Chain A
Amino acid sequence: MYDSGKIIPGLAVFVLLITFPFWYNKLVCNVGAAPVKNPNLSKEMLQGASFPNGQSHLPAAEMRAKHMNVLQGIHTTAKSYVSGKDEKKPTMSCIGCHGAKEQFCDSCHAYASVKTPDCWICHTKP
């Protein structure tokens, strides 16, 4: 073998880079448990039957995958609030059933390292 003094270290660097998630998860960061899927909601609530205003939303699995689009859809239809100008901040109706932001939003967003949306600039934190 020729130039082993350069090729072997080069290969070692390559293997280290490729296996980065393996050793990084082991040595550096604590891999937390996945967030609990089902928040404490009653069966009726899960089926969307006891929605406060009689509306319903998609089943939980669909909402998990598409809530950002759903929220954005609601958002564009109700944009009358002007941040900074209007004093009273709107609340988010999700939180009425689903409880605290920390469990309902942040737990999954942190786990999947998804940017936490900037809902809370305008909306009041429950």
Chain B
Amino acid sequence: MKYTFPLVAVIALALIAWIGSALGLQHLFGVVVPYAALLLFVGGFCWRVLYWAKSPVPFRIPTTCGQGFSMPWVKRDKFEAPVSTGEVLCRMFMEIFLFRSLWRNTKAAVKPGPELTYSATRWLWLFGILFHYSMLIILLRHLRLFVGSELFFVKALDAIDGFTLHPTPELSLYLTDALILVGLIALLARRFVIKTVNYISLANDYFPLFLLIGIALTGILMRYFLRSGVDIVAIKQLALGLTTFKPVVPADIASIFYVHLFLVSCLLAYFPFSKLMHMGGVFLSPTRNLANDSRMRRHINPWNPDIRPHSYASYEDEFRADMIEQGIPVEKELPQG
């Protein structure tokens, strides 16, 4: 089974952190591993993007999804077939913030007749957007542990996300904590339930899902269920120590925190070398970020050799003597003398 290895791997990673922190390796799992993971993440991310940047884009790839620029009386679709930078920015915005391409997802089916039909299917879009935005909000909320002062947007997100939180924040639910699990489990279920998707799912599709589910579950457990030893002040001390390069490891943090932190570190370290790089890749998608202006602007192929124009007159100048010798007629005779 393609999902057993990634599942076992995530469980093993959790166990490593659990046993390690129980054996007193807090410094390793609380300081060394997170630093190494962050270095790998930032360095690997930049390396990957720069590596991509070395590939020339040979030509506009006009995979448009709307009427392109044509005659003035043909109504065109500005954002699906953009010709200017501003319109491209709109298309990129829709892609990055609204997942436009997933919204376009269709499902093919054969109906009695037989007739092939395509119908819109937006479950992938829905659960994708649920997961991604929950993840973003959760990440931003975590800034309260990493930043020494209160940030207005973290406070605002906390209030919006935790609008069910009354009277004290620790007692009831953050909306995103539930939604991220809904999104992740639906995205995982998709790979099990839909036969065609199941067929093409590989270990590297399951691994990030299991890892993210592990991270979300340990976070939720820490917050709502296994509070013993989850001392926010100690955790913030550790986080602030990391961000100010004066790492301290408070003695009394429960193992589940180290499991959470280690799984996050694994995610960071794994990120640049996996499909998760679509975070950077979406900005470099040639079919999304290039204007559909291949008939307006001349594109010079970047790897073309430098070929100088060679007219017949200069050709004859170069080979005149040989041509006369071979009896080939020339337009201009050799200079006399």
Contact = CB atoms under 8 A, between A and B. Distances in A.
Nearest to A2: B56
Interface of B: 41-42, 45-46, 49-50, 53-57, 143-150, 154-155, 158, 165, 167-171, 227-234, 236-237, 239-240, 243-245, 252, 280, 283-284, 302
A18 B56 contact: no
Contacts of A84: none
Contacts of B165: 115
A44 interface: no
Interface of A: 1-4, 7, 10-11, 14-15, 18-22, 24-26, 28-32, 34-35, 37, 61-62, 64-66, 68-69, 71-72, 75, 108, 110-115, 117-118
Contact of B233 (A11, A25, A64, A117): A64
B45 A14 contact: yes
B233 A66 contact: no
A113 B150 contact: yes
Contacts of A19: 42
Nearest to A121: B167
Nearest to A3: B53
Contacts of B227: 65-66, 69
Given A1-B50, A15-B46, A111-B236, A117 B147 contact: no
Given A1-B50, A14-B45, A25 B148 contact: yes
B236 A34 contact: yes
A11 B158 CA distance: 28
Contacts of B231: 61, 64-65
Contact of A114 (B41, B56, B228, B232): B232
